[in-house]
């Protein structure tokens, strides 16, 4: 193994661990950072050195550029990997790293400005004749200006925060009568959330598919694609299920190569370096429209790793070290799906963090769990409430869905036990929702649009009769006596509730 200089990972959670694993395998020693809230966090354990950077609030710690650069200097780091979120898409941070003599693992500040900024990106793709969602090219300053674009493209429209991300800062407007108050409301929200109230307008595409292209550039004007991912299953405009290949593109075979070509063309134009993702909306007729580019590693990159066999983080690090010769686009095999397990209410999708008592994540052939939580960890209110990504691969989509169903049935996340043995705490998870999702006929059929959840209220409906432990046990005993096997094997109980084989066993042991 070649020895490399250390890499500082300016992040936390599952992505810090994921990057550590590859870095260490390639001979890059890892420097971790942690906040007050992360003193006992798992990502610290995966590093060769770890440094405290500040209080729990991100601006004191994971966004604290000065402290992070100080740590880089003290630790002897040569590279800085930003992960996703936090500082990953801030050109000023790239420049600050360079000024400090560090190598930022990602694109140059210049290409980040051209593509990572939503407004600038719209102008960049316009200049290259890549279709984008109709709407304003730049920021709209007043509601009247927004209304005039809305009139041009037709209602409904979406007001979107220029600084938005993670699905936040969007508001649907159905008619001119609503636009003035919607504009004020959305602007206020964006100021609160991002410290920047700038808005732009887009036509709202109805029943859309979200399809994105993974690219990788060498920073010298050559880029390749690594296939697509479809992420149409979303809640609150944020993905919960991502897969490759995109089922919608199987219906429109000409669309796929056209999207690859557009993404690679733009990436080459901005001399993009490293991993990046072009997000598009695809409508029911197979037309595609550019949405935005994420100039970083994406949450759902494991899906691409499954179908291509490429370790994207290895490519990022080797490119930064000047040791990657960009190959041709890799062939893609089989079908991969990822779901995001969140600490959130499965009916309302509102975050519900809290301490963890027990966590069992699925493993097995072609099953991958990316998480930063062990038993007795805690999902804190300070950061993203994602608990784990669970992803699977299989030769066909149908088999991948079945493999995922089993993986989700095996997953367990529980609050800590009280002294009397019962579990109690504020933690809720979307596991029961994911188990319903993987059994949903539309999902299994692969024709999903971003309004899937709205159209399928059964996915989020409260359980009509949540079977109590006693009731389930009584039923199992009855079925055992009548030789029908335990209740958990009976499809209706297992499928309709968040009862799992494991929780039944635990009941028996009591
Ligand atoms: P991806 O775009 O990689 O599929 P998400 O949209 O979920 O994933 O965003 C990745 C992470 O980055 C999330 O933790 C999200 O909260 C955070 N994030 C993205 N953009 C912003 C932003 N503009 N402001 C704050 N957080 C953001
Ligand atoms: P973010 O930076 O928050 O990721 P995006 O522009 O990527 O913002 O949009 C997030 C999601 O919102 C998309 O995946 C899509 O589901 C929905 N969306 C965004 N723009 C539109 C649009 N013009 N029409 C329909 N849906 C949209
Ligand atoms: Mg997006």
Domain-by-domain residue ranges, the chain? 7-105, 134-203, 206-330, 334-463, 469-509
pLDDT value, residue 506 = 37
Is residue 279 a contact partner of residue 263, using CB atoms and an 8 Å limit?
A: no
Query: Per CATH, which fold does 334-463 belong to?
Result: D-amino Acid Aminotransferase; Chain A, domain 1 (3.30.470)
The percent of residues above 90 in pLDDT, for the chain, comes to: 88
Atom of ligand 2 nearest to the CA of 135: 23
Task: For residues 233 and 456, give the distance between their C-alpha atoms in angstroms, rounded to a whole number.
Answer: 12
Which pLDDT tens digit goes with each residue over 186-242?
Answer: 999 999 999 999 999 999 999 999 999 999 999 999 999 999 999 999 999 999 999
Please enumerate in sequence order all residues whose Cβ is within 8 A of that of 48, keeping only pairs 6 or more positions apart, or say none: 6, 24, 29, 30, 31
Q: If you ran DSSP here, which 8-state letter would residue 299 be given? A: T
Q: Do the domains 7-105 and 334-463 sit in the same CATH topology, yes or no?
A: no
Paired with 338 in beta bridges are: 242, 391
Sign of CA dihedral 452, 456, 458, 461: positive
Q: What's this model's pTM, rounded to 2 decimal places?
A: 0.91
Confidence of residue 463 (pLDDT cuts 50, 70, 90): confident
Which pLDDT tens digit goes with each residue over 50-62?
Answer: 999 999 999 999 9
Assess whether 265 carries a catalytic annotation: no
For the chain, the straight-line distance linking the first and the last C-alpha, in angstroms and rounded, comes to 50
Q: Whose CA is nearest to atom 23 of ligand 1?
A: 165
Please name which of 488, 487, 490 lies closest in space to residue 475, comparing C-alpha atoms.
487
> Which tops the pLDDT comparison, 165 or 241?
241
* Contact 294 CB / ligand 1 (< 6 Å): yes
Query: Per CATH, which fold does 134-203 belong to?
Result: Dna Ligase; domain 1 (3.30.1490)
Query: Per CATH, which fold does 206-330 belong to?
Result: D-amino Acid Aminotransferase; Chain A, domain 1 (3.30.470)
Residue 283, pLDDT > 90, answer yes
Is residue 499 a contact partner of residue 468, using CB atoms and an 8 Å limit?
A: no
Q: How many CB atoms lie within 10 A of CB 237?
A: 15
Query: Per CATH, which fold does 7-105 belong to?
Result: Rossmann fold (3.40.50)
Q: What is the mean pLDDT of residues 118-131?
A: 96
If one residue of 122, 237, 282 were mutated to test the ligand 2 pocket, choosing by the most ligand atoms within 8 A of its CB, it would be 237
Q: Whose CA is nearest to atom 9 of ligand 2?
A: 167
Q: If you ran DSSP here, which 8-state letter would residue 333 be given? A: -
């Amino acid at each position: 193994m070649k020895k490399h200089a250390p890499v500082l990972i300016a992040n936390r959670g599952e992505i810090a661990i994921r990057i550590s694993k590859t870095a260490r395998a390639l001979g890059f020693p890892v420097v971790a950072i942690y906040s007050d809230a992360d003193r006992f966090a798992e990502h610290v354990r995966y590093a060769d050195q770890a440094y405290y950077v500040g209080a729990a609030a991100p601006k004191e710690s994971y966004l604290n550029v000065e402290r992070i650069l100080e740590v880089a200097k003290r630790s002897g780091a040569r590279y800085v990997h930003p992960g996703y979120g936090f500082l990953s898409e801030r050109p000023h941070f790239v420049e600050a790293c360079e000024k400090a003599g560090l190598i930022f693992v990602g694109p140059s500040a210049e290409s980040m400005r051209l593509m990572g900024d939503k407004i600038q990106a719209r102008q960049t793709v316009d200049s290259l004749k890549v279709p984008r969602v109709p709407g304003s090219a730049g920021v709209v300053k007043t509601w009247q200006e927004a209304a005039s674009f809305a009139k041009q493209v037709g209602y409904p429209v979406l007001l979107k925060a220029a600084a938005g991300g993670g699905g936040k800062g969007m508001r649907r407007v159905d008619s001119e009568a609503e636009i003035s108050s919607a504009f004020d409301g959305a602007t206020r929200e964006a100021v609160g959330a991002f410290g920047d109230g700038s808005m732009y307008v887009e036509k709202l595409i109805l029943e859309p598919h979200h399809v994105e292209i993974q690219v990788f550039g060498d920073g010298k004007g050559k880029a390749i694609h690594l296939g697509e991912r479809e992420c149409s299953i979303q809640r609150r405009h944020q993905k919960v299920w991502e897969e490759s290949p995109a089922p919608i593109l199987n219906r429109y075979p000409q669309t796929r190569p056209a999207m690859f070509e557009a993404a690679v063309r733009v990436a080459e134009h901005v001399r993009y370096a490293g991993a990046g993702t072009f997000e598009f909306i695809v409508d029911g007729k197979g037309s595609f429209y550019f949405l935005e580019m994420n100039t970083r590693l994406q949450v759902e990159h494991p899906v691409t790793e499954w179908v291509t066999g490429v370790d994207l983080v290895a490519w990022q690090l080797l490119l930064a070290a000047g040791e990657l010769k960009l190959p041709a686009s890799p062939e893609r095999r089989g079908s991969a799906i990822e779901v995001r397990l969140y600490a959130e209410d499965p009916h309302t999708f509102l975050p519900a963090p809290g301490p963890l008592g027990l966590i069992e994540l699925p493993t097995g052939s072609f099953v991958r769990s990316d998480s930063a939580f062990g038993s007795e960890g805690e999902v804190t209110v300070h950061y993203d409430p994602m608990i784990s990504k669970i992803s699977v691969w299989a030769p066909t989509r149908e088999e991948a869905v079945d493999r995922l169903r089993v993986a989700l049935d095996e997953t367990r996340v529980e609050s800590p036990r009280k002294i009397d043995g019962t579990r109690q705490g504020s933690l809720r998870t979307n596991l029961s929702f994911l188990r319903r999702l993987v059994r949903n006929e539309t999902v299994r059929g692969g024709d999903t649009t971003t309004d899937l959840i709205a159209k399928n209220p059964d996915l989020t409906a409260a359980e009509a009769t949540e079977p109590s432990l006693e009731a389930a046990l009584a039923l199992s005993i009855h079925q055992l006596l009548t030789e029908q096997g335990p209740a958990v094997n009976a499809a209706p109980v297992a499928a309709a509730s968040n009862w799992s084989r494991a929780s039944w066993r635990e009941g028996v042991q009591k």
